Amino acid sequence: TAIQLEPLIAETLKRFEVMHAEFEFIANTEAIRDVMLLMNPLHVEQMLMIILDNAVKYASLTKRIVIEGIRLKNEVQISVQDHGIGIPEADLPFVFDRFYRVDKARNREIAGTGLGLAIAKQLVLNYQGSLAISSVEGEGTRVQLTFPLHQIVDA
Ligand code: ATP
């Protein structure tokens, strides 16, 4: 069955807003208002939760997280931008690997197994989508989900 993406994102964000009141969550998702995807809503939620959970966990002083939805001709893109501690360039290629965590000393106080992004990637690949990450250490991280248009049915 086809699911509507935007309300699902809004619901997930609402839960994070309640749990993390010190953060400001901004949703720019008007552009994907009519996008429907042939996906299990639980899978979409899980992907978003993994990415948002990281954005919260690896935050810095600027506690603002922006989620944006873009619709292109052949795909839909959902990105989560944080202004957290960022990821060193040398670690970036490995963050999707199972059990990989950046700098154990840095992460000592932050709970995690290093599985989140590996799971998210597998979920995304199951839907012929892709998961990309870009980051500048000390400035922030952007995680982008892309799903092909053939998964999309217009509302
Ligand atoms: P968990 O399995 O509980 O999610 P985790 O957060 O360590 O544990 P991943 O989500 O796979 O595991 O992330 C891998 C590593 O990538 C993290 O340990 C962290 O160092 C880095 N990372 C991921 N997302 C971010 C982010 N938004 N900002 C900074 N570092 C990040």
ipTM of the complex: 0.97
Q: How far apart are CA 61 and CA 96, in angstroms?
A: 25
Among 62, 57, 67, 59, which Cα is nearest to 12's?
Answer: 67
Residue 56 CB–ligand 1 contact under 6 Å = no
What pLDDT digit, counting tens, does each position of 68-123 carry?
A: 999 999 999 999 999 999 999 999 999 999 999 997 667 767 888 899 999 999 99
Residue 100 CB–ligand 1 contact under 6 Å = yes
Is this prediction's pTM over 0.90?
Answer: yes
62 Cα–ligand 1 center, Å:
18
Nearest CA to ligand 1 atom 8: 112
Nearest CA to ligand 1 atom 3: 112
Residue type, 82: D
Where helices occur in 34-115 by DSSP H, the ranges are 41-57, 104-107
